[in-house]
Homo-oligomer: A and B are copies of this chain.
């Protein structure tokens, strides 16, 4: 979702009474989390700091270029902090920022919900 879509976030004028703040905020949240792999990466980092290769191994199925792209986006969004240890060998570590860490309880809630309500037959 690009800037145009963010700007055009729903303002609550939908079919039923709503809490406009919640919807606009949800729109913004999914601008990030609705991109493939971002939520899973954040969930993985919830367990602690990790390097690029750690993440590549942990997030099964993600390709290199998308992992690099997502980490960059999450860092720019302020959810992830990228720390470079000069080395040698140079080592880059990613960890959740305060904003990222604040999302963890929500991610846990999401995991609990999935455990309870999503079964193998949610595959269409």
Please tell me if the beta carbons of B15 and A51 are within 8 angstroms of each other in the complex: yes
Copies of this protein in the complex: 2
Query: Are the CB atoms of B108 and A60 closer together than 8 Å?
Result: no
Q: Within the complex, which residue of B16, B29, B39, B124 is in contact with A50, where a contact is CB–CB below 8 Å?
A: B16
Known A10-B60, A113-B103, A124-B76; contact A30-B40, beta-carbon cutoff 8 A:
yes
Closest to A37 in B: B34
- Tell me, in angstroms, the Cα distance from A24 to B79 when the chains sit together: 21
| One of B58, B106, B111 near A110 (C-beta < 8 A) | B106
Which of B14, B49, B109, B124 contacts A44 (CB under 8 A)?
Answer: B14
**SS class, residues of chain A in contact with chain B:** helix
The yes or no answer to A68 lying at the interface (CB within 8 A) is: no
State whether A44 touches B78 (Cβ < 8 A): no
Closest to A29 in B: B114
If the complex has contacts A28-B122, A103-B113, are A22 and B58 also in contact, measured as CB distance less than 8 A?
A: no
